[in-house]
Amino acid sequence: MPDTEQTGPDLPTPVMAIESSCDDTACAIVRADGEILAETTLSQSGHVPFGGVVPEIAARAHLAALPGLVRDTLARAGLRPRDLGAIAASCGPGLIGGLIVGADMGKGMAIALDRPFIAVNHIEAHALSPRLPGVAGNGAPFPYLLLLVSGGHCQCIAVEGVGHYRRLGGTIDDAAGEAFDKVAKMLGLGWPGGPAVERLALEGDPHAIALPRPLMGRAGCDFSFSGLKTAVAQKLPAEVRTALPRPLAADIAAGFQQAVSDIVIDRLGHALDMMERPTTLVVAGGVAANGVLRARLRAFAHEHNLPFAAPPLRLCTDNAVMVAWAAIETMRARRAAGLPIPDDIALRPRPRWPLAEIAQRMTATGTDIPA
């Protein structure tokens, strides 16, 4: 048996996790009780000239950064590699090049140390992050309603248990974060666009520019932001697009931000109707850092007598702490079911990995868990 912390039989921790699904390279070490021993995140800057993430650049940056990042995270935790109980990595969904780099690094460490390797679904990691002790008391109790809003995802998910998720609705075109980035580019702002739009919106009037609210009032809780993005483009005078007057840009930014939050609140109301008695309203993903949206979500939860939980801002965006915690939750749930700790060495990273396929991890009896 490895010389590692054990919380119950066959639950080896601490877990070192790697996150490399997009443009953030991250590593973290987390104990079974949720204590974060160390976390390190590097945000890539090489994409700024292109106004968005370039997959090949991202993969090469992950490859260059990960060895040093792993060493630094171990040093911060005061641990040696052999002190680790398990290794985890995001294996999808995401940019396949980055996923391969992170997964192969994790698998190599697991093989060299003779430790289990746990493949983590990136969306599941976001979904389970509110259960990390300290985020929502001792962890958000099941079942809860999750709003995941980020650059690549916009979904309402009923989180009913580890491995058990119901997608209530999602975007049919752009994700909210993607729309923020594209509007920022139209307004001549920097990348990433979300923080830039939010800062500029502080100077504007959210009601000065009339913008549509796609799908608002419709049945279900799907989202659409492509038409809103197009409407913003139509508000820009062609002759001044290269030097948009700041007051006009600020009003557009404020109006766009208001429209996004209106759409999200409307869709959440429908999601509540589709889920029986959620314990908590949870928000995660990079767009959850938007102050206007977060304030409106908090008010919405209060109006519906629901506790509101949001991870700290550093854990809303892509991070390795949530990946480690998802691995711990998976190990604990399988142990409780009398099943072995998974060892996903044979699992291949996937650019698409629907949450609906995760439930089999809770019932598979072998050590190599299918995805």
How do residues 140-181 score in pLDDT, each as one tens digit? 999 999 999 987 889 999 999 999 999 999 999 999 999 999
Annotated binding site for substrate: 148-152, 181, 194, 198, 290
Q: What is the average pLDDT across 326-349?
A: 92
The whole domain housing 241 covers 143-310
Same domain, residue pair 194 and 225 = yes
pLDDT tens, position by position, 26-46: 999 999 999 999 999 998 877
* Type of residue at 257: Q
Annotated binding site: 122, 126, 148-152, 181, 194, 198, 290, 318
Q: By C-alpha distance, which of 328, 308, 243, 346 is closest to 34?
A: 328
The token duo for 234 is: 């139509």
**Is residue 160 in a domain?**
yes
What's the Cα-to-Cα distance from 133 to each of 107, 136, 167, rounded to whole Å?
28, 7, 25
Query: Quick check: 19 and 39 in contact, CB under 8 A?
Result: no
How many other CB atoms are found less than 10 A from the CB of residue 58? Answer: 24
Our count of domains for the chain comes to: 2
Annotated binding site for Fe cation: 122, 126, 318
Same domain, residue pair 210 and 123 = no
Entry pTM: 0.90
Terminal-residue alpha carbon distance, the chain: 27
Query: Going by DSSP bridges, is the β-strand pair 86-92/15-19 parallel, antiparallel, or unpaired?
Result: parallel
Same domain, residue pair 206 and 355 = no
How many other CB atoms are found less than 10 A from the CB of residue 334? Answer: 23
Same domain, residue pair 321 and 304 = no
As a whole number of angstroms, the distance between CA 106 and CA 102 comes to: 6
Same domain, residue pair 148 and 73 = no
Give the distance from CA 45 to its chain's centroid.
19
Whether pLDDT at 271 is above 80: yes
The H or E element that residue 333 is part of is: helix 320-336
Treating both helix axes as pointing N-terminal to C-terminal, what angle do 246-273 and 193-201 enclose, rounded to 10 degrees? 110
pLDDT tens, position by position, 76-135: 999 999 999 999 999 999 999 999 999 999 999 999 999 999 999 999 999 999 999 988
